[in-house]
Chains A and B, each alone.
Chain A
Amino acid sequence: MEVSDNGYMLIQTIFIPIVFSIIILVVGKRLKEKTGWLTAIPLIYISLLLCYININIPYWNILIARYRWSEIFGDFILIADGLSSPIALTIALLGTVISIYSIYYMKHEERLELYFALYLLYTSGMIGTVLSMNLVAFFIFFEFMLLPSWVLIGIWGTGRKELIAFKYFMFTEIGALSLLIGIATLYSFTGTLNILEIGKLSANIDISILLPTAIALLLGFFIKMAIVPLHTWLPDAHAEAPTPISALLSPAMIGIGGYASIRIIYTAIPKLTYLWEFMTGLSILALITMVYGGLMAIAQDDIKRLLAYSSISQMGYMLFGISSMSSIGISGSALLYVSHGLAKAVLFMVAGILMHEFHTRKISELRGLARVFPLTTTTALIGFLSLSGVPPFLGFWSEIFIFAGSMYTAIHDGLDIVKMIITSLAIILSVFTAGYGLWTIKRLFYGEPSEKILKVKGEPLIAVIPLLILSLFTVILGIYPTPLIVNFMNTLYKLFS
C-alpha cells in the first residue's frame, strides 16, 4: 500500500534548500551572521513538511515520489516510510536549530554567505541520502554530503584544519569507493538499482557473492559511522570542525551510516540476517566500539574530542541494535539516531558556548560554571543523562529496545549463550557512558568558579534557546515515544516476519 507524492513534497525537501543556498550566496554578504535567520526559513519549512509527512505515515504506509530519470540508472525514486521519515525530520530539525545557533557562534567569522550556503547544501545532501531509493541517487547524495562538509571544515575549522579536512575527505572517499564497488556488483547481478526490487531479487543470488558485496557496502558505511578501527578520522574532524558543523556532523551524519546499513543491508540483502556468525561478529565489533569509545572519552581533557569519542561509542550502540537480529533491536537503533541526535547536538552546542565565552576547550581549565550558566548546565545534564539511558529522557527507550531485542533473540528460541553474554556485557558496560558524562558535568559545572569565569556577562540567549528546544523534545519524546516507535516498527517488523 503506497501513496503517490503528487504534491512534490519529497522533492521539495531536497531542492528548496539548494535553491535557497544560491539566494544566500548573493544576499548573505550584507547580512553577515544574520544570514542564519534566512537559512532557517527553508529549514523550518521542510521541517514542517516532514512533520506533516511523519504524522500521516501510519495511514499512508509509504509515500513515494517517482520520476523518470535515465535508461541506465532507472527511475529517480524518493521514499518516505516509517524508517526514513523520522530520521529526515530529525535532520531537518537539527538543521533549523543549529542554523540559529550559528548566528551566535560564527559572529566574527569571514565569508559567512559561503558558510550558510554550504550549510544548506550539506543539509539537503543528508536528507537526499535518507530519502533515496535508487542506489545511484543514494551514492550521489552520499558524496554530496561530503563535499560541503569538507569545505566547511577546511575553511572555518581550527587547528590543522586543512590537513584534518583532507583526512576526513580521504577516509570517507575510500569508503564511498568501496560502496561503489558493492553497488556495481549488486547492479550486475540484479539488473536494477532500485533498492526494493533488489531486495526481492537478491534472494536468488548465491551467498558467496552476497557476502563480499555486503562487506564492501558495510565498509563504506562503517567508515561513515566511525566503527573501530575505521574511526580515526572522527576525533580530529569533530574536534576541529566549527562547532555548529560538529553539532551536525556528529549526530546527524554519522548516524546516516547506520540508517544506510539498515536500509541497504536489510532491505536489499535480507538473506544476510540469517547468517548467525556474521551477525554475531558484527555485534562483537559493536561491543568493542562501544567500550573503546567510552574508554577514550574518559581519557580526554578536550571537550570536543570527548564528545567525538562519545559519538563513536554511541555508534557502537547503534551497530549493536542493527546486529541484534531482532526487529525491536533495529527499531531501537533507529530510535537511538533520534535520541543521540538531539542529545549530542545539545552537548556540542554547549561545548561551543563554553569555547566562545571562555576561549578554551580544556576541561581542566573550566570549573564551577553552573553559577553563571544555569540553563546551559541543565541542558547539558539532560543531554548526558539521555545518552546514558536514564528515564524520562528519550535515550532510555532506545537503550531498552536495543538491549531487550538482543536479549530476546538470544533467549527465546533456544539459548544462545554467546549472544546472551555479549548482550549482558554491553548492558553492564553502558555504565561508562554515565561515568564520563556525569564526571564531565561535575568537572565543568560544579565547584568553585574562578574570577575569570565570574566576570562573564550572562548566558547568551540566542544560543540557549536551541538548547532548550532540543532538550524539551528529549523530555517529551522520552515520556511519549510512541509516534516514533510506531513508525519504526511498522516498517521494520517485515524484516523478521
Chain B
Amino acid sequence: MEYWEICGWFSWITPIIGAMLIPLLSKIGSKIRDHGAVLFSLLSMIMTLYLISLMFDRSIQWPLYSSYDWIIVPHAPILSKIKVGILIDPLSIIMANIVAIISFLIMVYSLGYMHGDPSLTRYWFFMNLFIGNMLLLVLSDNLFQMLFGWEGVGLCSYALIGFWYRDSKKDWLKCWVGEGEEAYPPSHCGLKAFLVTRFGDVVMLVGAFILLSIIGTLNFVEMSHIHLHSENIPLILLGFILLFFGPIGKSAQIPLLEWIPDAMAGPTTVSALIHAATMVKAGVFLTARIFPIVYLWSKTIPELSLFFTFVTWIGTLTAIIAALQAVVSTELKKVLAYSTMSQLGYMMMALGTGGVSDEYIIGYTGGIFHLMSHAMFKASLFLAAGSVLHTVGSRFLRHFGGLRKNMPYTFILMSVAALSLMGAPFISIGFWSKDMVLEAALISRQYIVFIIGVVTAFLTTFYTIRMISLTFLGKKSSFIIEREREGHYLHESPKIMLIPIAILVAGTLVFGVTGFYIKDLLEEIFHETMLPIHSYGKGETNTDILITTLSSIVAFSLGILAGYIVFIVRKISSEDVINRIKIIKDIRYILYRRLFLNKLYYIIVNNIISFSKKLLSSLELGIIDHINYFIAELFKKLSVKLLFNLEIGIIDHINYVIAELFKGVSKAIRYIHTGLLNYNIIGIILGMLLLLILLLSL
C-alpha cells in the first residue's frame, strides 16, 4: 500500500474509530476524553496534509484511486458490484484539507467554548463521527458510498443542532432561534434540518436511480470513461436535475434553504464547522464532482448544458435572496447563516456558468476557490461570533453594542475576516475568489447573472458593516449595561479560543495577498487534471478582467459608503427611513418573514398532519372500520332472521306440519276400528272378494 492510500483511507477511518472510543475514554477521565477527541482530528489532519504534496508531483497520473469489493450482488443487471473506494484528485485533496484543517482548529476552539457542558461525551462523539463521515463523503469514488457519508453528516448535523435537546426556556437567549411566531427550540430545529435535507435526498435518489438505469454505474471513475450516445436525452437531463436536488437541500439553495437559519440553535462550533465550512459545501462538492462528467457529455449532447443553466439560476437567485434576508436579520448568527447561503449561491453560480461556456476552467476553479476562501473566513467569523455570544449571553444584535472596548482582539479578528466576506480589494482572499466567480459569469455572457452577482456583492458589504457596527461600535446596549451591573464583567475570550480564529484570519490575509498567484496556480492544476479536454475558447480577455475588477471595487465601495452612513456615523437612521417610506417598510417585513417560504414549509407540514387526522377519523375509523362492523352486524342480523324465518319458521314448522298430517291421517283411519262384529265380517268378505278379483285378473 502506498502512502497516499494509507493516508486516504485512514483520514476518514480514524475519526470514526475515535468517535467509538470516546465513550470509553470518558469513563477514564474527562480531560483524557477531551484531548483524545482533539487528537483524532489532529491525526486526520496530518494525513490529509500529506496529500497536498501530491498535487505538486508532476509525474502522477490523475486520478488516483483504490477500491475493494464491498457488496456483491450475484446475477444482478445493475448494482452487481458496489465497491468501497477512495478517489484522490486535486478536488478531493483540497476539499479534504479544508475539512480536516478547519475541523481541527474548531475542535481546539471547542475545548474553550464547550468547557463545562455536562454532555461533552455526546458532543465529541458526534463531532468526530462528523469529521469521519465528511471525509468519507469527500474521498468516495462512487455515489453509494458517498451516500453513507452524505447521510452520516446529516445525522450528525441533526444530533448536534439538537444538542441541547432539553429545550429549556432558561436557554432562550442561548440556543433557541427566532422570536414571536417563529421561535423554535433546538430539537425542533434538528428535526427540521433533517427532514428538509431528507426531502432533497429522496429526490436525489430518484435522479440517481434514473441515471443508474441508463448509465449502468454510479462510480465516478467509470462514468468518466463512458461515451454516451444520444438515446434517452430528456431522461438523462431529468436524472441530473433531480440528482441536483440533493445539493439543493444540503447546500441550502432555493427552495430548500430555510433549515439553515434555524440550524443556528446548535452550539456555535457546530454552526461554524457544519453549517459554514464543511457540510453545506457537500452539495457544491458533489456538483463539482459530476461537473467534468456532465460537461464532457454536453459537448456531444448539447441539451445537457441545460443542467448547468439550472444550477446557475438556482445559485444566483439564492445568492441575492439570502443576501437580502441577511440585511434585515436581528440575530448575529442568523446574519452569518444567510450570508453562508448567499455565498454558496455564488459557488453554484460559478460552477453553473462554467458549465455553459467554453471557458469552463474559470467557473470551475472559481467555484472551488470560493469554497476554500469562504470556508476560511466564514469559519473565523462564526468562531468570533461564538466568542461574542458566549461573553454577552444573548443572541440578538440589539443586545450588543460597543463591544470593541471589552473584546478588542475579537473585534480586530472579526473585522479582518469580514474584509474577506466583503471582498476588500487585493488584500483579502475573498476578493480574489469572488472576482473569479463574477468573471466566470461575465465570460459566459450571462449578463443578468453577472449584474445580480455584483448587486449581491454590494448587499454583502452592506450587511457585513451592519453586523460589525451593531456588535462592536456605538454605545453599549441596555442589556449589556444591566449585565455589568449584575456583576458579569464582559471580558475577552481565553487564548485557546482566540488562537484558532487568528490562524484562520491569518490564512485569509496570506492567501489574500498572494491571491493572484493562488488563483492562477489552482487554474493550472485543475486544467491539467480534471478534464481530458482543454478550453476551446479564447481565454479571458483583458476587458473582462477589467470590467470584473472594477465592478467588484465599485460594489465594495458603495457598500462601505452606504454602511458607513447608516451604521457607523449613523447620519441616517435606518429606522427612520424604514418607518417613513411605506414600501421599504413592507419590503423589510417580507424579508424579515423570510419571504414566507418558511411559513410555507409549516403550512405544508401542518396540512399533511391535519389531513391525516381527518382521514383517520373519516375514512379509517368512520368508513372502513365501520364497514367491518357493519358486515359483522349484517351477518348477525341475517342469521337471526334466518333462524326465525327459515329454521324455526319454516323448516321446523314443516316438521310439525308433517307430524300433524300423519296424526290427522291416522286419526281419520281410526274410524275403521268400530268394534262391531258385523262390520268386521263384512270387511273380511269384501277383502277376500277383492283379492279373488285381483288374482283372477292377473
Question: Looking at the complex, which of A239-247, A255-263, A294-302 is the stretch in contact with chain B?
Answer: A294-302
**B72 engages A385 (CB within 8 Å):** no
The yes or no answer to B698 lying at the interface (CB within 8 A) is: no
In-complex Cβ contact of A485 among B73, B148, B195, B605 (8 A): B73
Bound: A446/B161 CA distance, A: 13
B144: A residues at CB distance < 8 A? 400
A428: B residues at CB distance < 8 A? 199, 202-203, 206
Binary contact track B181-225/A, C-beta < 8 Å → 1, others 0: 000010110110011001100110110011011100000000000
Binary contact track A327-346/B, C-beta < 8 Å → 1, others 0: 11001000000000000000
A490: B residues at CB distance < 8 A? 74-75
The yes or no answer to B24 lying at the interface (CB within 8 A) is: no
The yes or no answer to A361 lying at the interface (CB within 8 A) is: no
**B212 engages A298 (CB within 8 Å):** no
A407: B residues at CB distance < 8 A? 206, 209-210, 212-213
Bound: A331/B214 CA distance, A: 21
Bound: A102/B377 CA distance, A: 57
Closest Cβ of chain A to B606, distance in Å, is 11
Closest Cβ of chain A to B156, distance in Å, is 12
**B147 engages A438 (CB within 8 Å):** no
The yes or no answer to B648 lying at the interface (CB within 8 A) is: no
The yes or no answer to A408 lying at the interface (CB within 8 A) is: yes
Which residues of B, 567-623, contact A by the 8 Å Cβ criterion? 605, 608-609, 611-613, 615-616, 620
Bound: A327/B74 CA distance, A: 11
A446: B residues at CB distance < 8 A? 162, 165-167, 187
The yes or no answer to A370 lying at the interface (CB within 8 A) is: yes
The yes or no answer to A27 lying at the interface (CB within 8 A) is: no
The yes or no answer to B680 lying at the interface (CB within 8 A) is: no
The yes or no answer to A74 lying at the interface (CB within 8 A) is: no
Given A400-B144, A411-B210, A493-B74, does the pair A299, B609 have CB atoms closer than 8 Å? yes
**B187 engages A434 (CB within 8 Å):** no
**A295 engages B195 (CB within 8 Å):** no
A486: B residues at CB distance < 8 A? 72-74
Given A407-B209, A431-B195, A482-B70, does the pair A232, B625 have CB atoms closer than 8 Å? yes
The yes or no answer to A435 lying at the interface (CB within 8 A) is: yes
Closest Cβ of chain A to B694, distance in Å, is 56
Closest Cβ of chain A to B279, distance in Å, is 15
The yes or no answer to A76 lying at the interface (CB within 8 A) is: no
**B73 engages A489 (CB within 8 Å):** yes
Bound: A317/B287 CA distance, A: 31
The yes or no answer to A229 lying at the interface (CB within 8 A) is: yes
Bound: A401/B625 CA distance, A: 34
Bound: A259/B74 CA distance, A: 20
**B75 engages A327 (CB within 8 Å):** yes
The yes or no answer to B354 lying at the interface (CB within 8 A) is: no
B74: A residues at CB distance < 8 A? 486, 489-490, 493
Closest Cβ of chain B to A412, distance in Å, is 6
Bound: A434/B162 CA distance, A: 16
In-complex Cβ contact of B167 among A229, A423, A448 (8 A): A448
**A427 engages B615 (CB within 8 Å):** no
B206: A residues at CB distance < 8 A? 407, 423-424, 427-428
**A232 engages B209 (CB within 8 Å):** no
**A404 engages B191 (CB within 8 Å):** no
The yes or no answer to B547 lying at the interface (CB within 8 A) is: no
Max chain B Cβ within 10 angstroms of own Cβ: one of A299, A385, A415, A480: A299
The yes or no answer to B155 lying at the interface (CB within 8 A) is: yes
Max chain B Cβ within 10 angstroms of own Cβ: one of A326, A448, A497: A448
**B235 engages A415 (CB within 8 Å):** yes
What's the interface size class on B, roughly?
A: 35 or more
**B191 engages A442 (CB within 8 Å):** yes
Closest Cβ of chain A to B52, distance in Å, is 29
**B148 engages A370 (CB within 8 Å):** no
In-complex Cβ contact of A481 among B71, B77, B147, B205 (8 A): B71
**B624 engages A229 (CB within 8 Å):** yes
**A392 engages B203 (CB within 8 Å):** no
The yes or no answer to A212 lying at the interface (CB within 8 A) is: no
Chief secondary structure at chain A's binding surface = helix
**A430 engages B213 (CB within 8 Å):** no
**B612 engages A390 (CB within 8 Å):** no
B620: A residues at CB distance < 8 A? 232, 296
The yes or no answer to A199 lying at the interface (CB within 8 A) is: no
**A391 engages B147 (CB within 8 Å):** yes
Instruction: Tell me the count of chain A residues lying within 8 A, CB to CB, of chain B.
Output: 58
The yes or no answer to B79 lying at the interface (CB within 8 A) is: yes
Binary contact track A398-412/B, C-beta < 8 Å → 1, others 0: 001101100110111
Closest Cβ of chain A to B496, distance in Å, is 29
Given A489-B76, A490-B75, does the pair A427, B198 have CB atoms closer than 8 Å? no
Number of A-B contacts (CB under 8 A): 152
**A298 engages B612 (CB within 8 Å):** yes
In-complex Cβ contact of A431 among B147, B202, B213, B628 (8 A): B202
Given A232-B625, A328-B76, does the pair A427, B608 have CB atoms closer than 8 Å? no
The yes or no answer to A371 lying at the interface (CB within 8 A) is: yes
The yes or no answer to A270 lying at the interface (CB within 8 A) is: no
Bound: A411/B76 CA distance, A: 16
**A298 engages B213 (CB within 8 Å):** no
**A448 engages B168 (CB within 8 Å):** yes
A390: B residues at CB distance < 8 A? 151, 154-155
**A295 engages B612 (CB within 8 Å):** yes
**B78 engages A485 (CB within 8 Å):** no
Bound: A485/B214 CA distance, A: 23
The yes or no answer to A13 lying at the interface (CB within 8 A) is: no
Closest Cβ of chain A to B219, distance in Å, is 15
**A328 engages B79 (CB within 8 Å):** yes
**A427 engages B202 (CB within 8 Å):** yes
The yes or no answer to A191 lying at the interface (CB within 8 A) is: no
Nearest opposing residue in chain B for A482, CB measure = B71
Bound: A459/B158 CA distance, A: 24
Bound: A380/B330 CA distance, A: 37
Bound: A485/B81 CA distance, A: 11
The yes or no answer to B152 lying at the interface (CB within 8 A) is: yes
The yes or no answer to B697 lying at the interface (CB within 8 A) is: no
Bound: A296/B213 CA distance, A: 33
B152: A residues at CB distance < 8 A? 391-392
Bound: A427/B246 CA distance, A: 14
A54: B residues at CB distance < 8 A? none
Binary contact track A420-458/B, C-beta < 8 Å → 1, others 0: 100110011011001100110010011110000000000
Which residues of B, 10-58, contact A by the 8 Å Cβ criterion? none
Closest Cβ of chain B to A380, distance in Å, is 14
In-complex Cβ contact of B198 among A300, A396, A401, A434 (8 A): A434
Bound: A481/B151 CA distance, A: 18
Closest Cβ of chain A to B623, distance in Å, is 10
Nearest opposing residue in chain B for A497, CB measure = B75
A271: B residues at CB distance < 8 A? none
The yes or no answer to A388 lying at the interface (CB within 8 A) is: yes
The yes or no answer to B666 lying at the interface (CB within 8 A) is: no
B210: A residues at CB distance < 8 A? 407, 411, 420
**B72 engages A392 (CB within 8 Å):** no
A434: B residues at CB distance < 8 A? 194-195, 198
**B213 engages A489 (CB within 8 Å):** no
A430: B residues at CB distance < 8 A? 202
**B79 engages A401 (CB within 8 Å):** yes
**B165 engages A370 (CB within 8 Å):** yes
Contacts A/B (CB < 8 Å), 28 sampled: A232-B620, A296-B620, A298-B608, A298-B609, A299-B615, A328-B76, A331-B73, A368-B166, A385-B155, A388-B198, A391-B148, A403-B209, A404-B209, A404-B213, A407-B212, A415-B235, A420-B210, A428-B199, A431-B195, A438-B158, A442-B188, A445-B165, A446-B165, A446-B187, A447-B165, A447-B187, A489-B76, A493-B76
Query: Given A404-B78, A412-B77, 15 more contacts at CB 8 Å?
Result: A295-B611, A295-B615, A298-B608, A371-B166, A392-B152, A400-B144, A401-B79, A408-B77, A438-B195, A446-B162, A447-B165, A447-B167, A447-B187, A486-B73, A497-B75
- Give the 7 A-B CB pairs with smallest separation, nearest first: A493-B75, A446-B187, A295-B612, A407-B209, A411-B213, A446-B165, A299-B612
